[in-house]
Structure 1
């Protein structure tokens, strides 16, 4: 077991600082203060982040930290923090660690007992979720999906069955193809939302069914970065007769489970009373 107090000692620390996903007014007072006072700012793209920092009035030294150099750079940053240096890690936009290599640095900090201080702030998928109109609890966030249809299909099959809202990111030049791939798995009337340009002047939520959004984007060129949200599967499992449920119990027992565990599993899967199924099974 490990306990960490973010403010327990004066040695080096890692601050995880969210940056605006569009609207610069979303930078917090605390985030700006941390970025100003840190010894270094570790950024995915120092050019992109340099423009952002200039606009919000932060002038500080930056180090590049991205997916292509993270494994080599992480030990260097760990050594700096062990020597008392404070580092603020930022993503190109939004939350560090979410769809960026920040988790590698966090993992190494934890291993070396270096305090990790996460700041709250902007996040594209959370912003899209609360504006989607879908149930926010529970939800599953997938980040960016693979590009190939064959690799996307298992994700869509999982989302199609999910009893939770599903969320993923997509680039505009891949959106049409991804929506077509979704149509191969989801029923045409499944509700989805495409949220684009969040917090920016052209922010938009396009709500409809899989079929409707496919039709819309076949005629309208996608612009901006997209967050795609898929509504939870609310279909109830098919109600089976008792003899069919008993047969399913027998099938599970043949796979090596005890009768008690098999009854519990089938009762849960088909939303029937465990006690009633137990009685019916032993009356057969």
Structure 2
């Protein structure tokens, strides 16, 4: 067991995970702005994107590029700076660090090296969309960005099809229509979904409907902006038939010409009951 206190070590560097606005700059917190101002270095996913934000909120600290293509090589450099007593604020392009972001690699290295990690609360696109979706917020499953190939996406959609939880993933506008068509191949067309786009921005919009309705909408309207897609939980109630009802199904099949053996096997399989138990019940009747 490893215990960590984030606030009582004075002579050691500290990693701060600082959320940034997902659109509206007013969502920056006072604490986030203070930490960004006071940090010795800011590790940014995209220094150009983050530079625009930091300039607007009046922060001019030294930025270090830290993204998925250089994270494994850059992490040791950042750990060295932290061990020297520097504080580093890690930020994503938008929203919470670590979520759909390589920040977890740096967090893991900090934990290995007994360096305190402090997470600040703040904006997150999937959480924002979830609470306004109208779907049950707990439980939920967040998938991030799905694979681009339809064959690989189908594996995720099969899980969503069975899930009793709200399922959430991100999609880019140029891939959205293809992804929705793949979704419709796996999940029933009357299943409800919500698409949230451009959250907290001027053109924020929620599209609510069935999979077929949303697919129809995008045959006439081009997707614009980044999308959060939410799939409603599977709330189909599987009715468990009584033994008398199952026996009647067997009898009906036998009367129609099937053998008793085949009828019992097929009815048992269709209703997910024991073939041997159904056999016994049928012959006891």
Tell me the CA shift for residue 216 of structure 1: 0.3
User: Number of paired residues?
Assistant: 250
- Equivalent position of 2:264 in the other structure: none
Q: 1:249-279 CA deviation, whole Å, 9 max, x = no partner? A: xxxxxxxxxxxxxxxxxxxxx9xxxxxxxxx
Q: Unaligned 5+ residue runs, structure 2?
A: 247-271, 273-280
SS at match of 1:212: helix
- Equivalent position of 1:65 in the other structure: 66
| Whole-Å separation in 1 of the counterparts to 2:245 and 2:118 | 54
| Whole-Å separation in 1 of the counterparts to 2:6 and 2:243 | 57
Indicate yes or no: 2:186 matched with 1:200: no
Indicate yes or no: 2:159 matched with 1:158: yes
- Equivalent position of 1:131 in the other structure: 132
| Whole-Å separation in 1 of the counterparts to 2:66 and 2:148 | 24
- Equivalent position of 2:4 in the other structure: 4
Indicate yes or no: 2:100 matched with 1:81: no
- Equivalent position of 1:55 in the other structure: 56
- Equivalent position of 1:212 in the other structure: 213
TM-score, normalization: structure 1?
0.85
Tell me the CA shift for residue 244 of structure 1: 10
| Whole-Å separation in 2 of the counterparts to 1:226 and 1:242 | 48
- Equivalent position of 2:187 in the other structure: 186
- Equivalent position of 1:141 in the other structure: 142
- Equivalent position of 2:266 in the other structure: none
- Equivalent position of 2:252 in the other structure: none
Q: 1:208-239 CA deviation, whole Å, 9 max, x = no partner? A: 00000000011100000000000000011231
Indicate yes or no: 2:232 matched with 1:234: no
SS at match of 2:224: coil
Tell me the CA shift for residue 241 of structure 1: 3.5
Bigger radius of gyration among the two: 2
| Whole-Å separation in 1 of the counterparts to 2:137 and 2:77 | 39
| Shift >3 Å, 4+ stretches | 240-245
| Whole-Å separation in 1 of the counterparts to 2:56 and 2:190 | 44
TM-score, normalization: structure 2?
0.85
